[in-house]
Chain A
Amino acid sequence: MSFHARMDYSPAKFHKSERRLADVGEPFRFSPEHQATFDRLVTHYPAERRKSAILYALYLVQEQQGYVSRAAMRFVAEQIGCTPAEVEDVVTYYVMFFQKPVGTYALAVCRTLSCALAGAERVTEALSDHLGVPVGGTDASGTFTLLEFECLGACDRAPVVMVNNDHWHEHLTPDGVPKFIEDLRVKGLAALTGCHHKVE
């Protein structure tokens, strides 16, 4: 095969391990409420299958400290009864777990086809310009992190932005970006539209 030099597929980039370790972070324990929630969720699965609750455990970790540190992975491994490597295996696979601290609001813009057809690329560029950060970056105040996600499953409301994995905002246009950011700063998550389906 012949590829030209401009294609970045050189040993310098690709023949090195891309394994990135998460931050070690502070020693971690669940808060009493989170521990109670976890203990309840574990009962949904057969007693010898505690590992099924690993995703829930990691969500609880993320809710508590904003990201999943290596200390937290070790803690989850103890809770589940598996090795920390198995936890890291899971954390690094699923996109919804952050391995380093993110801003107060993590904005995930859907970039897949239906949203892209509705101008998601422009929305991302407008957000990037407005916040002064590249995709993946967090702004200087530590308030916003800009991310791109794959199809979020609300293609009739494109372009869609998901905030902090839990909250949605629909029909965001490039022109609407300054107001969207301002509203988020002032009103917090209440500024988001949520997700409402239109049905015929």
Chain B
Amino acid sequence: MAYEPVLTKFVKEPNCYTLDFYKAKDLGYEALRKAVTTMQPNDVIEMVKASGLRGRGGAGFPTGLKWQFVLKDTPKPKYICCNADESEPGTFKDHLLMERNPHLLIEGCAIGCYAIGAKVAYIYIRGEFYHVQKVLEQQIEEAYRAGFLGKNIFGSGFDCDVFVHRGAGAYEAGEETALIESLEGKRAQPRIKPPFPAVSGLYNCPSAVNNVETLANVPLIISKGVEWFTSLGPEKNNGPKLYCVSGHVKNPGVFEATMDVSLKELILGDQYAGGMKDGRTLKAVIPGGSSTPVLLPDQIDIPASFDAVAKAGSMLGSAAIMAVDDTTCMVWLAKNLLAFYRHESCGKCTPCREGADWLLKLLTRIEAGEGQMKDIDLLLDVSKNIGGKTLCPFGDAEIAPVLSTIKHFRHEYEAHVREGCCTIPAPWRGTRAPALAGHH
């Protein structure tokens, strides 16, 4: 049975981002109308819970539960913070969704606000997406004009404002408490949890932080029903899912599927990424963004669902699949990612901040052929002292590429040390040793 996309069905059509198009062909705010005029907020939460919708940002936490945890009996205002920071390397699904189907997100924000009793939703968009922000702001304006946002929506007495907040280039702002800090006008550094945002989040008020794709699924659940949603994909991994496939593939892009599609199909299937470029062979796969452990080609014949990928020893994360071919040196790959983590570590927790620096130095040395055999174990030792010792999952994220490449490709590390140089110098790689990425 061919799967009919719902999130990205119209993205190729020229005016798909306009309100007129959304009203004519897509949901057209009917889900919001249904929610605010016929349902109680609690019914919305129950419906999202029943659907089993899991957060699309990386952790896969059930959205309905997250909303239920938001403190109800308090005089304080409540907030929805939409996480549109999308900074995990390899991820570009929300980019597409916001640029080509912004009203689905806006409608999702409004329904989310209604469900948890909030009056304001902030869409925290990463600073680099200025072109997306312009589209989003323009369409929010349209929605206000049409009465889908603002005061007394559909005559129900429900008020809702949606604002876009522009970040300024911080990976760490993708973590929910760091996002809240950044929204408050501070450095994007995570807070100590508990209290969780559901109790004390933005401006110390109860808040829910949800990913763009998560919120975009909510109007679909309201309008098409729980049965439709649970009929898609394997149990506990229901609903439409966007996959970003990039790297050495013929046809990189965003693909919508249900979570029973296999990782292998997504990379090699003709209707998806179409296999490896230039007839080369697949060497390794990063299944869910740079923070997830690397999988080998013989491990990818599994459904691309939260649970199946976790069972294979990695994570679906943000479903950012990066496929690398046999011209890729895995030590170089780990070094590239550690340069990213060293630059993006927010600096709050010492193990992560200092650890990333040490890991990068060690990897740089090994990659240049100047390392020693004991450096490989030293990498493992340093990693052991980072993982689980930080406030947010960044620490675990930065060691994932190191640990998994050593686990699967230790022989390449050893070859670098033995030969005194990189053994797989690909033509697409630079020839100069890059300077450590500093602050611009």
Contact = CB atoms under 8 A, between A and B. Distances in A.
Contact of A124 (B248, B430, B440): B430
B340 A89 contact: no
Contacts of A158: 246, 252
A90 interface: yes
Contact of B185 (A52, A113, A149, A151): A52
Contact of B91 (A134, A149, A153): A153
8 contacts: A51-B184, A92-B439, A95-B168, A114-B246, A117-B247, A151-B340, A158-B252, A166-B131
Interface of B: 8, 11-12, 77, 86-92, 95-96, 99-100, 122, 126-131, 161, 163, 165-171, 182-188, 203, 244-248, 251-255, 271-272, 286, 290, 320, 322, 324, 328, 333, 336-337, 339-340, 343-344, 346, 361, 365, 370, 378, 428-432, 434-435, 437-440
Chain B contact residues: helix, strand, loop or mixed? loop
Given A117-B324, A199-B254, A95 B170 contact: yes
Q: Which of A46, A54, A95, A167 has the most CB of B within 10 A?
A: A95
A125 B168 contact: no
Contact of B253 (A53, A92, A119, A200): A200
Interface string A130-157: 0000111000000000011111111111
Given A51-B184, A155-B246, A197-B100, A116 B320 contact: no
A55 B185 contact: yes
Contacts of B187: 89-90, 93
A139 B161 CA distance: 45
A155 to B, nearest CB: 4
Contact of A148 (B245, B333, B437): B437
B336 A197 contact: no
Given A156-B244, A197-B92, A199-B8, A112 B127 contact: no
B252 A56 contact: no
B185 A53 contact: yes
Contacts of A180: none
Contacts of B428: 117-119, 121-122
User: Quick one: which of B128, B169, B271, B438 has the most chain A CB within 10 A?
Assistant: B128
Interface string A75-106: 00000100000100110111111100000000
B340 A168 contact: no
Interface residues of A, number: 66
Nearest to A58: B168
B186 A155 contact: no
A11 B376 CA distance: 25
A167 B82 CA distance: 24
Contacts of B89: 112-114, 150-151, 155
Interface in A46-83: 46, 49, 51-56, 58-59, 80
Contact of A95 (B122, B130, B165, B439): B439
Contacts of B99: 195, 197
A125 B246 contact: no
B255 A165 contact: no
A112 B166 contact: no
Contacts of A197: 11, 92, 95-96, 99-100, 253-254
A199 B12 contact: yes
Given A154-B95, A197-B254, A199-B96, 20 more contacts: A3-B361, A53-B185, A55-B165, A55-B185, A80-B185, A112-B337, A113-B333, A114-B252, A117-B247, A118-B428, A121-B428, A121-B429, A122-B429, A125-B432, A150-B340, A153-B91, A157-B252, A158-B246, A167-B131, A199-B8
B252 A156 contact: yes
A7 interface: yes
Contact of A125 (B186, B378, B430): B430
A134 B167 CA distance: 27
A117 B321 CA distance: 13
A147 to B, nearest CB: 5
A81 to B, nearest CB: 11
A165 B170 contact: no
Contact of B244 (A59, A92, A119, A155): A155
